[in-house]
Amino acid sequence: MKLARTKLKVNFQLLLSIAVIFLITSCGNSNEETHEEAADIPATQEMMAELTSPPNVPRGVGKRKAKKLIVNMEILEKEGTMTDGTTYNYWTFGGSVPGSFIRTRVGDEVEFTLSNHPDNKLPHNIDLHAVTGPGGGATSSFVAPGHEKTFNFKTLNPGLYVYHCATAPVGMHIANGMYGLILVEPKGGLPKVDKEYYIMQGDFYTKGEHGDPGLQPFDMQKAVDEDADYVVFNGKVGSLTGDNAITANVGETVRLYVGNGGPNLTSSFHVIGEIFDNVMVEGGDLINTNVQTTSIPAGGAAIVEFKVDVPGTFILVDHAIFRAFNKGALGMLNVEGEENKSIYSGVVQEGIYQPEGGGIQTMPDDAKATVATSTSEKSLAEKMESGKQIYMQTCFACHQAEGQGIPSAFPPLANSDYLNADVDRSIGIILKGKTGEITVNGEKYNSVMTRQAISNDEIADVMTYIYNSWGNNKTNVTKARVDKVKSGH
Ligand SMILES: [Cu+2]
């Protein structure tokens, strides 16, 4: 460890002395000068950004000049595995949780295009903490399914930054996986290391308990209460264990880009059996050395570096330790190579954390499937129950928890004269979508609701739920009625 530290320190010292020379030669307020300098760096040539999914990171910027960097990011809403037997509807930047890693250098002019796949159900946007500008780009990137938007920004401050969706309800978009990291390297790049990896923690809130089987819908109340069912690295339990473990060889230097998407919990990031030689605290310029556990706030990041001196399995955890062993925040770094008895003489207790370590917990088997089943004879109570779940999964993001909608964007379903006036017309809206001007409770709306990809049975349940909530006319919508509207007679 000593060796690496000296080597890295030399590099950092070099960087420091360059910075000092720069400060001496420039005059006035140091921060602003640096800033203006960055703003004035020309970015002439164009270059496509390499984007990677976790735990991989793109090649470093090295000595390259600032460029016009083209970033094409696609939003995909897709079902994925949370843990064995449990799936979740993730909303993603680039198809992974966390989203694609973006690597830039100071002075790059980023041309960012955000595309929202036509099969998606919701509008989204992006707020990059590396952006100097309103909403970090959010105001310029709000994009509906089947559309794309482009905006430009210049990277002024080096560091490791979180990006995330900032579309209402923001907490829900983040809780569903809409976050990732963007690295802005200083001029000349970060010092060279042997291995680099991308890890991001996130907390998830599901209707069922941890380990309950089936497709688990998002649970708004648990999210508000910060009562996480899953706390994981890279979007799911086991993303960094077993065959998915990250690797290094004895003697190599390792750099981890660690972010925390939240939405709620602060990470106490720790690697069992290692000491971080360097931590770039909060992803900024401050370097702390010889760190055991580093605190990473929601919406924050840190860069940690260490040299691996002995072989074995090193466990990455959130040291708020029930999260690691009971909620999934556990990963593995497998190090291969020669033993070094002078550093570690004892039995290498590889696998000691295994029994719990997989993060795959066997839970009491009283879990009830939460997926709507299609029985023909459902009671009103059953339909209300199932309909509420579908509503919270599919309609809630736009029409809001109490059906109140969002003024001038999404019409209310609560006490809606439009809804109550014509049941078949409303069923048709779910089946086929709706565009063009409508008037709901005296307010005009002229927007787009995309066709909702749910079964006729689910439409019957969700409409029954809506009609029997919030002061509506109490219609019990049957599947037969939905079938009839669909077939057009
Ligand atoms: Cu979003």
Determine the distance separating the centroid of ligand 1 and the alpha carbon of 146, expressed in angstroms: 14
Determine the distance separating the centroid of ligand 1 and the alpha carbon of 174, expressed in angstroms: 7
Count of CB atoms situated within 10 Å of the CB of 125:
24
pLDDT for the residue 23:
45
Residue 5 has pLDDT above 60, yes or no: no
Determine the distance separating the centroid of ligand 1 and the alpha carbon of 74, expressed in angstroms: 12
User: What are the sequence ranges of the domains in the chain?
Assistant: 40-191, 196-336, 365-487
Tokens found for residue 379: 């009671």
Determine the distance separating the centroid of ligand 1 and the alpha carbon of 399, expressed in angstroms: 15
- Look over the chain and give the mean of its residue pLDDT values, rounded to a whole number: 88
Q: Sort 33 into a burial class: Cβ within 10 Å, 0-12 / 13-18 / 19+.
A: middle
Determine the distance separating the centroid of ligand 1 and the alpha carbon of 268, expressed in angstroms: 26
> Is residue 257 a contact partner of residue 112, using CB atoms and an 8 Å limit?
no
Residue 258 backbone phi and psi in degrees, to 5: -115, 125
Digit-coded pLDDT (tens) for 68-117: 999 999 999 999 999 999 999 999 999 999 999 999 999 999 999 999 99
> Is residue 128 a contact partner of residue 179, using CB atoms and an 8 Å limit?
no
Digit-coded pLDDT (tens) for 122-148: 999 999 999 999 899 999 999 999 999
Q: Which CATH architecture has domain 196-336?
A: Sandwich (2.60)
Q: Strand 293-296 to strand 109-116: parallel, antiparallel, or no bridges (unpaired)? A: unpaired
Determine the distance separating the centroid of ligand 1 and the alpha carbon of 123, expressed in angstroms: 6
141: helix, strand or coil: helix
Cα dihedral 210, 216, 217, 219, rounded to 10, equals -10
Tokens found for residue 60: 């470093």
Determine the distance separating the centroid of ligand 1 and the alpha carbon of 216, expressed in angstroms: 19
Determine the distance separating the centroid of ligand 1 and the alpha carbon of 91, expressed in angstroms: 7
162-182: average pLDDT: 97
Determine the distance separating the centroid of ligand 1 and the alpha carbon of 58, expressed in angstroms: 24
Q: Strand 195-204 to strand 230-233: parallel, antiparallel, or no bridges (unpaired)? A: antiparallel
Determine the distance separating the centroid of ligand 1 and the alpha carbon of 218, expressed in angstroms: 14
Q: Of residues 312 and 361, which shows the higher confidence score?
A: 312
Residues whose CB is less than 8 angstroms from the CB of residue 91 and which lie 6 or more positions away in sequence, other chains included: 75, 76, 77, 120, 122, 124, 165, 173, 176, 177, 178
* Residue closest to 264 by CA, chosen among 240, 229, 304: 229
* Residue closest to 320 by CA, chosen among 485, 477, 201, 211: 201
CATH of 40-191, one of 1.10.3720.10, 3.60.20.30, 2.60.40.420, 3.40.640.10: 2.60.40.420
Determine the distance separating the centroid of ligand 1 and the alpha carbon of 61, expressed in angstroms: 29
For the chain, helix (H) and strand (E) counts, in that order, are: 13, 23
pLDDT for the residue 361:
41
Measuring CA to CA, how many Å separate 86 from each of 76, 206, 215, 360, 397? 19, 10, 6, 11, 22
Residue 298 has pLDDT above 80, yes or no: yes
Residue 406 has pLDDT above 90, yes or no: no
Domain 365-487: top CATH class: mainly alpha
Determine the distance separating the centroid of ligand 1 and the alpha carbon of 166, expressed in angstroms: 6
24: helix, strand or coil: helix
Q: Of residues 283 and 8, which shows the higher confidence score?
A: 283
